[in-house]
Structure 1
Amino acid sequence: MDSAQITISIILLCTVLLFLWGRWRHDMVAAAALLACVFAGLVPAESAFEGISHPAVISVACVLILSKGLQSSGAVDVLTRWLLPANAGPTLSIAALTALGAFLSAFMNNVGALALLMPVAMQMAKRQNIATGKVLMPLSFGTILGGMTTLIGTPPNLIVSGFRKANGDGNFNMFDFTPVGLTVAVVGVAFVALIGWRIVPGRKQASGDSFDSGAYITEARVPPGCKAEGMTLHDIEQALSEADAQVLGLVRNEIRVTPPSPRRRTRAGDILMLEAEAETLASAISSLGLKLEEAKSTREEREKEEKEKEKEKEKAKQAKEKATESQPAKAKEHSDAEVAKTSEESPEKEEVSHEHDEVILSELVVLPNSGLLGRTAAGIQIRTSFGVNLLAISRQGNRSVKRLRAQPFRAGDLLMIQGGPEAISEFASSTGCVPLAERELRIPNKRMAIMATVIMALSVAVAALGILPTAVAFAAGVLVSMIVRTVPPRAVYNAVDWPVIILLGALIPVAQAMETTGTAGLIANFLLHQLAQGNAIIALVLVLIVTMNLSDLMNNAATAAVMCPIAIGTANQLGVSVDPFLMAVAVGASCAFLTPIGHQNNTLILGPGGFKFGDYWRLGLPLDLLVILVTIPMLLWVWPL
């Protein structure tokens, strides 16, 4: 080995050890490795940051943004209600949920897919009376498996495609990963859903990971033509039982009916007073097509409201003019003077304008010294004064059938507030409230959900058909999403997982340095001659196993970036096609099933599932063995050596 090879080997070894140590974030370690290569002269200084502009990095960022559009529009929530069985046993329910997670992960970020379905999984576990972890771990593994089925399903696939192009063979197409990836995903999901969930440790959920805010009381209006219109309250109660929600009262024509008769039928414009947990509030409302009474955040609704106000003002002005015309001149002058005086002394209170591209939901607690104590939402004009909506109130498990706007606030009340981040922050600081948590409440917007789905589908189609390069196709999709506001411009940069982007951008030049110095070839030569004894199939199995083991210990994108040069070097020394070896890296990098640190999805379920570090291998080890048994024959068939 020459000095350059020794230096890059030391940098690579230190990088892997720092990844395993976990004291520094992955992007920090990757940046340190890149700078070390620059200082050592292994990467030219002028080329140090070219990795950021790599098509794979751009594609990852764009897919994350488009996934945000599917998430925030409620498109996934609608799909969940359509596809998941309402009344089924644990095996069928887990199978359907895991399969849905795998499907979503093929076209959106798999971390986002898991985050969307986690509340559904926790409700399912409660309904089936089984440990939460027995649903969460299959779902996590299913979303990981689903990512390997398409080019955009997971960052490692995009990285592998980039290395193939750099090798002179061009990019992989959108569905080149599908024959092998889909087969592995189907077999893996079937095993996890039918057998695997039974061997997952059934531990109690870790305490302190979240807080119980109790049930909220909120108001939902019955819009014309919605599913709830014409239903009896008894039927509505039955429909809401899946979301653990119930009807407390009904308001019709501003008259409260409490308790309402179960046989009473709803009409358009009725307001239902509902009690539901924060996590199930969205599904309780959207399942019947109801609309939160105080939630008016869309641009169209604001414009309509402003137009109606203008019409009212115009009518009032015309009526005033007619009245003054019939008065004597002197009286008219006096009247005009009085009006002017009144206008000067009591100017109309202007409505506070809080135009926000991003609307969030925040949970606030009312402090003992809050200025809200004893006052009501109507009294403080919460919407006009602060630009926020009061959606629900939770009061230590005590029910109240008063209208939300008429309920006096008390110390300790939990308020669910909707609005822009700045507006909510201003409301909290002005009134003496403390934010507890930001909640995800996605009431599906049909128009936005359709547009977000169409934009994602068109982006995938354009990339798959080769009309535009993948990065360009998805960048165009992001631009359209910003224009039509399925992803508000304000929220675009928040949708990107920047540590992953920096990690990829930093490691790509490091991986290229491994190749240019010949280090990758040396490692490949060791694998080939010392372990595989010159056998291409054994070498392919080794590449797959080494990648799988590395992925259990370090970020999967970093694993792919490190292993791709080794895979290419191994194939070149054997004189065989690089494609099966690169596909082995793609599959192996997506098989982080043995530890909670190998993939973000495994980390996400650690607390909610009450898992310990060693719990993952019980299901992960047999799944790894199954993946190897399925992958090698499929690789040899679809991508012959």
Structure 2
Amino acid sequence: MPMDAFQLWLTFGVLAAVFLCFMKEWLPTELTALCGMGVLVVAGVLGEKEVSEVFSNSAPLTIGAMFVLSSSLTRTGAIDWIAVKFSSWAGTSMPRVLTVLALIVMPLSAFLNNTPVVVVFLPVLMAFCRQAGMKASKLLIPLSFLSILGGTGTLIGTSTNLLVAGVAKSQGQQPFGIFEISGLGAIYALVGFGYLFLVGVRLLPARDTVSSLIDAEDTRKFCSAVVVDDDSPLAGERLVGNPLFSDRKRTLVYEVARHGRRVEDIPLDALVLQERDTLWFRATAKQLAEIQATKGLTMLHETVGSANDEEPQGTQVKTVEAIIGPRSSLLGRSIRDSGIRRRYGVVVAAVHRRGVNVRAGYQDLRLAFGDTLLLEGPVHNLIRLKQEEDFLSLNESSISLPRKSKVFLASGIMLGVILTAAFGLLPISSAALVGAVLSIVTRCVDLREAYERIEWNILFLIYGMLGIGKAMEITGGAEWISQGVVGAMKDFGPVAILAGIYILASLLTEVVTNNAVAILLTPVVISIADSLGVDARPFIVAIMFGASASFLTPIGYQTNTYVYGAGGYRFGDFVKIGLPLNLLLWGVAVWLIPRFWPF
């Protein structure tokens, strides 16, 4: 076999293996992509020159800088202020709530990465739904979908747009302006919102979330401690078998000390009480009074009534919902083996996964991205938990004190980046980099926080897929595919080919990842346009919008995965609501793209 043919088929083989790993989730996506690129380097398909070109691409740098800029707005409280205002603006009627949500989320997502927007709004919407008596499942899918629709409004609204523009520029295409796609993006967002407002709300399920496992009454809990007395009748009893320390199969105890040391090697559901054990627990006022009156127990702290003698003094214990994050160290580990109680001083009361509230047997469930846990513990332990990357809290937007004195500065820097790029004073990559540096230098966000907020897994995924895309280009793989597509569809005309490109990008995004799809298809569609003798820009824009239109599954886009567990949804809910939206937007794109960007 000639060497060129060998490299071509090897590249296709690597690409197929990478896609299979993406779908099966055998490895993290970024590691899969980098391994694929590594194979091509070792095989000689990619040389030093090609590797240098991959890492000199400006798109990943721009995306990283936008992560920092988004973080500065979050850290200074700009987004939180808007999110908190939502509750006072939204009212109580569903049409008004949805309209206000759209008016806030879509403009924010047009200029910020939509993931932090959704993360900030999740706890706000959860709290709002509890106060308004609404089901969170009525609002969380709209939250994710509106953020995706808003991201199509500008070049910086989503990493997909930046990637497609970057790859197209490297292929010799005219650079995209920051607002070049805004006209179509605005129509796209209006159509999507209209669908959600008129049709989607009727298809949304009314589901209980994991927090519905808590009693609606007497939910305030307080932290206290008791010591098991000498000769106590409780000594020798199993902790979980004692109704005094359990509440509907949930243990009230979150920590036990024995001989002056915390008991870490024995799970609470297997612990047998001994004399002089110290039990730290959380309980309602009624439960606390029962424990205090029990023979054989001595309260470690005095629990005198409050000023009005209606409730005891103590450290209030909070119950929060938290999603397992994409970079959590708990992924793949069971709750029993995860050490959550030992590490954070909180207990897992229940788990929600794929539309099911898991109460029994959840201790042996292996945790996955998107699982929602019901965590209970004292406030100071929850504060410590919030500083970790294992969880995304749904009950409060941020535990770090916002730097409110910097809010106007951070907003001004972001506005400066947008205007600088819009008027062509600097390329978007340079403007974003300067803005990110200014955000750090002016202390809108600390350097450490900036590092933490950059989604490094996304950047590594992008570099790996850029390498595979480069191999497709130099081996002739992209040209080979384009010739096959043109040969099969040339009689149908460029509009039909554009429709096929859009639907292919949209479907692949649902099962792989939007960034990988954008990188791989952009060179192919440029080659298709060259073969047809037409302008490539309509096809490039179709990739931008098609790879962003991820409404069909909860795994195609990260924001969908976040709301999947939090809203108590099932996989079929996304299909029922997202499929008509995907088809509707497909029709809009096929009709309008050639009018904005003629062939």
Matched, 1:77 2:80: yes
Matched, 1:554 2:512: yes
Matched, 1:545 2:549: no
Q: Paired residue for 1:588, among 523, 527, 546?
A: 546
Alignment CA distance shift 1:209-1:186 (3 Å): farther
Question: Is contact 1:91–1:194 with CA below 8 Å preserved after alignment?
Answer: no
Shift of 1:82: 4.4
Distance in structure 1 (CA, Å) of the matches to 2:343 and 2:130? 37
Q: Could you say what secondary structure the match of 1:487 adopts?
A: coil
Alignment CA distance shift 1:563-1:215 (3 Å): farther
Question: Is contact 1:52–1:504 with CA below 8 Å preserved after alignment?
Answer: no
Q: Paired residue for 1:437, among 376, 382, 385?
A: 385
Query: Which residue matches 2:96?
Result: 92
Residue 141 of structure 1 aligns with an amino acid whose one-letter code is F
Alignment CA distance shift 1:491-1:446 (3 Å): closer
Question: Is contact 2:50–2:470 with CA below 8 Å preserved after alignment?
Answer: no
Shift of 1:610: 1.1
Distance in structure 1 (CA, Å) of the matches to 2:490 and 2:215? 53
Query: Which residue matches 2:588?
Result: 630
Matched, 1:68 2:71: yes
Shift of 1:171: 1.8
Query: Which residue matches 2:415?
Result: 457
Q: Could you say what secondary structure the match of 2:180 adopts?
A: coil
Shift of 1:195: 2.3
Matched, 1:617 2:591: no
RMSD: 3.5
Give the greater-gyration-radius structure (CA).
1
Distance in structure 2 (CA, Å) of the matches to 1:210 and 1:633? 50
Distance in structure 1 (CA, Å) of the matches to 2:213 and 2:171? 46
Question: Is contact 2:221–2:317 with CA below 8 Å preserved after alignment?
Answer: no
Alignment coverage as a number of residue pairs? 463
Paired-residue identity, % = 28
Alignment CA distance shift 1:201-1:168 (3 Å): same
Query: Which residue matches 1:179?
Result: 183
Q: Paired residue for 1:600, among 535, 540, 558?
A: 558
TM-score for the superposition, normalised by structure 1: 0.66
Shift of 1:532: 5.2
Alignment of 1:354-369 (within 5 A): 368=257
Distance in structure 2 (CA, Å) of the matches to 1:114 and 1:175? 23
Distance in structure 1 (CA, Å) of the matches to 2:440 and 2:212? 38
Q: Could you say what secondary structure the match of 2:566 adopts?
A: coil
Question: Is contact 1:101–1:143 with CA below 8 Å preserved after alignment?
Answer: yes
Distance in structure 2 (CA, Å) of the matches to 1:557 and 1:54? 14
Distance in structure 2 (CA, Å) of the matches to 1:100 and 1:172? 26
Q: Which runs of 5+ in 2 are unaligned?
A: 223-252, 263-280, 287-304, 321-341, 346-377, 387-392
Distance in structure 1 (CA, Å) of the matches to 2:529 and 2:205? 41
Question: Is contact 1:548–1:590 with CA below 8 Å preserved after alignment?
Answer: yes
Question: Is contact 1:110–1:153 with CA below 8 Å preserved after alignment?
Answer: yes
Question: Is contact 1:52–1:501 with CA below 8 Å preserved after alignment?
Answer: no
Distance in structure 1 (CA, Å) of the matches to 2:45 and 2:174? 26
Distance in structure 1 (CA, Å) of the matches to 2:214 and 2:499? 42
Q: Could you say what secondary structure the match of 2:153 adopts?
A: coil
Matched, 1:474 2:432: yes
Query: Which residue matches 2:38?
Result: 35
Question: Is contact 2:168–2:523 with CA below 8 Å preserved after alignment?
Answer: no
Query: Which residue matches 1:197?
Result: 201
Question: Is contact 1:134–1:198 with CA below 8 Å preserved after alignment?
Answer: no
Matched, 1:56 2:59: yes
Q: Which runs of 5+ in 1 are unaligned?
A: 218-363, 374-393, 417-424
Alignment CA distance shift 1:133-1:586 (3 Å): same
Which whole-Å deviations, capped at 9, do the CAs of 1:596-619 have from their partners, x for residues lacking one?
A: 110001110111111122221111
Alignment CA distance shift 1:559-1:207 (3 Å): farther
Query: Which residue matches 2:244?
Result: none
Shift of 1:534: 5.0
Shift of 1:627: 0.4
Q: Could you say what secondary structure the match of 1:558 adopts?
A: helix
Query: Which residue matches 1:384?
Result: none
Distance in structure 1 (CA, Å) of the matches to 2:12 and 2:168? 23
TM-score for the superposition, normalised by structure 2: 0.70
Alignment CA distance shift 1:214-1:560 (3 Å): farther
Distance in structure 1 (CA, Å) of the matches to 2:534 and 2:461? 31
Shift of 1:169: 2.4
Which whole-Å deviations, capped at 9, do the CAs of 1:371-404 have from their partners, x for residues lacking one?
A: 999xxxxxxxxxxxxxxxxxxxx9534496479x
Residue 437 of structure 1 aligns with an amino acid whose one-letter code is L
Residue 565 of structure 1 aligns with an amino acid whose one-letter code is P
Query: Which residue matches 1:167?
Result: 171
Alignment CA distance shift 1:92-1:434 (3 Å): closer
